[in-house]
Structure formats: structure tokens, C-alpha cells
Amino acid sequence: MRELSVVVPMMNEEDNVKPLYDAIREALKGIDYELIVVDDGSTDKTVEKLKEFADDRTKVVVFKRNYGQTTAMAAGIDMAEGELIATIDGDLQNDPSDIPMMIKTLKEGDWDVVAGRRLKRQDGMLLRKIPSKIANKLIRKLTGVYVHDYGCTLKLFKRDVAKNLELYGELHRFIPVLASLNGARITEVNVKHHPRVHGESKYGLGRTFRVVSDLLLMLFLEKYRQKPMHLFGTMGIITFLAGMAINFYMFVLKLLGYSIGTRPLLILGVMLTFIGIILVVTGFLAELIIRTYYGAQNKKPYTIKEVYEG
């Protein structure tokens, strides 16, 4: 087993391949490492260059199509054999020279995860920095996991923590929360951040809504992952009782001789009653799905076209 596995998701980064290889090899001299680069459906010459410049420490995993950064990261972690696993972007904005420092921090403090914090971000203020600061603050407040820079890909994990992250969808930005759910001890270190030299960023303001929806999912997973009935059942019972109370009130009015057929309150009472029943039933179904999930086979959410070893 190697000391370290470095996982790099890449897509359409042909001009960054050789500089990335060179930077990693220079930074990790003296460390027994392997490099796992996952090509996430590139349409340029990224795959060709990944193979051309690969050495005997390198594995190039090529997806059949684009699955997204989270899935690419998950595939690399699945294949990693190191005692420690580092993740890093393939655009050279993260600096591999920070990895040895992160290894030292993890071992000296007996941490499970060391997360990078981009102290001097080399990104645009309006489209990247401001939305990122707002998102980071919101995530910290709602999840209680106090990491300052959720968007920094540069992270270091103990093997067992990385292998149990259960990455899917677009949850790579919530890795500290996922690790925390499994009881991981997390710390932060300041890391370097460089401006992008080659290629184009894959991110923009359009991801804001995805981040918010993923945050709602993380809150659900954090509080109700193993007991969804506590959420849906509680909401359902409250809604059902409110509906029944309104219906009882309308029934009393009817007995007293009042006309209730055209009153909006009657419609509200009936709607709340049925919504309450639906929420309770949803809770039952969610419980069944959770039990199926935990007992299901370990099927991967991606298809690999080939694995090239230098």
C-alpha cells in the first residue's frame, strides 16, 4: 500500500496536463505516492496528453461521458490504494506543494481530514468570491460544520474516511459535512491559490441554485438520514391535526345552521387533512427506501471507458 494517493478530476484541460504532472512530481519528491487522474468526458486532447505524459505512478481513468466533478472524484477515491488520499483540482489553481504540509498537519494532530482554505483567492470578486463567501457562511450556520472554504478542492483524508464519503450528485463542495456525519475530525490549513492560466472555468452564477438545493439535502441527511419518518411524520401529524381542527370547527358551524359550502376555510381544512396524510405516507415510503438503500448492492454511478497505467 502506498503512502499517498492523489486524485485529480479533469475535463477539457489539455494545456494544464503537463504542468500539473510536473508540479505534482516536484512537490511529492520523497513520498511514495500514486496519481489517479479521472477524465470526466473531455472533448479536447486532454486524454491523449494524460497518456502521453503519464509515468509508472500514474493511472488515467477515462469516463465514457461527462458525469460531473463529484462523480469523477468518487471514481478516483474508489481506485485509490494509499493510506492517505488527497484531492486536488486539475486547473493548477490549487498548488500540489501544499500537500506535504497537509500530511504533516494530519499526522501531528491525528486529524481525519485536513481541508484547504484559499487565503488569497485569485478569482473574480463578483462571480466567484462574493457568492462563495455567502454560501460558506450559510453552510456553516445551518450545518454546524465550521469550515471557512467549502469550495476548495484541495483536501487530505485518511483512507477510511475518504472511502466512506458516499459522494454522488454534486456533493463535492459538502465533503466536510459528509465526513462530519461519519464522525471525522476536521481541521483547516491555509493553502496557496493561483490564477487560472490555461482553459476556462467550469463554474458561474448558475451553480448558486444547485448549491442551495444541495444544502437542503445536506440538512436532511444530517438530521434525518436514518430516521426520515421523524421529519415527514411530524410534519404530517401537525398538518393533519390542523386540518381536522378546521374541519371540526366547520362542522360545528354547520350544526348551528351556518352555510359553509362556499367558505375558503373549508377548502383549507380539507387540503391540510389530505396533505397531512400524504406526508405521513411519504415518511413510510422514505423509511422503506432508506432500508433498501442500506441493504442494496454497491453499484457505481459511473461507467469507465478505460483505465490507462503509465
**Using one digit for the tens of pLDDT, what is the confidence trace for 13-72?**
999 999 999 999 999 999 999 999 999 999 999 999 999 999 999 999 999 999 888 889
Contacts with 279 (C-beta within 8 Å, 6 or more apart), sequence order: 232, 233, 235, 236, 239, 240
Nearest partner of 11 among 66, 87, 64, 77, judged by Cα: 66
Residue entry with cell 505512478: 57
What CA–CA distance (Å, rounded) separates 236 from 227?
A: 15
Distance CA 238, CA 276 (A): 7
Largest separation between any pair of C-alpha atoms in the chain = 90
Q: Cell numbers of 265, please? A: 376555510
Selection from 291, 287, 244 nearest residue 268 by Cα: 244
The answer to whether 191 and 154 are in contact (CB under 8 A) is: yes
Collect contacts of 105-109 with beta carbons under 8 A, ≥24 apart.
105/187, 105/189, 106/156, 106/158, 109/187
* β-pair partners for 33: 4
Strand partners, 61: 38, 307
Q: Is 113 helix (H, G, I), strand (E, B) or coil?
A: strand
* Per-position pLDDT tens, the chain of length 310: 899 999 999 999 999 999 999 999 999 999 999 999 999 999 999 999 999 999 999 999 999 999 888 889 999 999 999 999 999 998 888 999 999 999 999 999 989 999 999 877 655 555 556 767 777 788 888 887 888 888 889 999 999 999 988 887 777 888 888 898 888 999 999 999 887 766 565 555 555 667 777 777 777 877 777 778 888 888 999 999 999 999 999 999 989 888 888 889 999 999 999 999 999 998 888 877 866 765 565 667 788 989 999 7
Whole-number Å distance between alpha carbons of 151 and 137: 12
For residue 34, how many other CB atoms are within 10 A of its CB?
19
**Which of 167, 168, 173, 133 lies closest to 150, judged by CA?**
173
The dihedral sign for the CA sequence 276, 279, 284, 287: negative
Give the closest residue to 16 by CA, choosing from 122, 89, 66: 89
- pLDDT value at residue 149: 86
